[in-house]
Amino acid sequence: MHDICISNTRQALLHSGSHEWWRSALSSLSARRLHRTRNAVLCIRSGDKLCFILDLMNGGDLHYHLSQHGVFTEQEMLFYASEVILGLEHMHNRYVVYRDLKPANILLDENGHVRVSDLGLACDYSKKKPHASVGTHGYMAPEVLAKGVAYDSSADWFSLG
């Protein structure tokens, strides 16, 4: 099963500021099959619509589950954290820094396994380390908050906690 996400490219380009954002998002989604990440199966452009067909993740996200049920048990937390760690290690081994790790971006499938989603801020650091201050405040590493400072995968480990 797959989700279909339809986006108005004109509006998205206005909000994101440039074609580069879309190139980065598409590159992150489709150029690599990343373990424990939500992957694009297909991307279709029709006029000003951009359609992504994505892996179906119908178990909600960790933010939803935390807001509905409160804190996780130690066993649940260890399970979710270990699966997120596997996904981050897989990305980092391919020189991809995620840069937006937060409970709302960790989706669950129907079996309760996690996938990291929303790779729009992810970037390749194989040739040059990023220095942009991007992500969600409250989850951003100090080196990401310090504008102009280069960083690597360490930013994701800070966000994990």
- What pLDDT, in 10s, does the model give residues 7-35? 444 444 444 444 455 555 555 544 445 55
More confident residue, 141 or 6: 141
To the question of pTM greater than 0.85 for the whole model, the response is: no
Which string of b and e fits 101-135 if b means at least 16 CB within 10 Å? bbebbbbbeeeeebbbbbbbbbbbbeeebbeebeb
For 2-55, CATH number?
3.30.200.20
- Report domain extents, the chain: 2-55, 62-160
> H or E stretch including 49?
strand 49-55
Distance (Å, rounded) from C-alpha 16 to C-alpha 21? 6
Q: Tens digit of pLDDT for each residue in 46-90? A: 777 767 677 778 899 999 999 999 999 999 999 999 999 999 998
CATH class of 62-160: mainly alpha
Q: Catalytic residue numbers?
A: 100
Q: Check: CB of residue 111 under 8 Å from CB of residue 56.
A: no
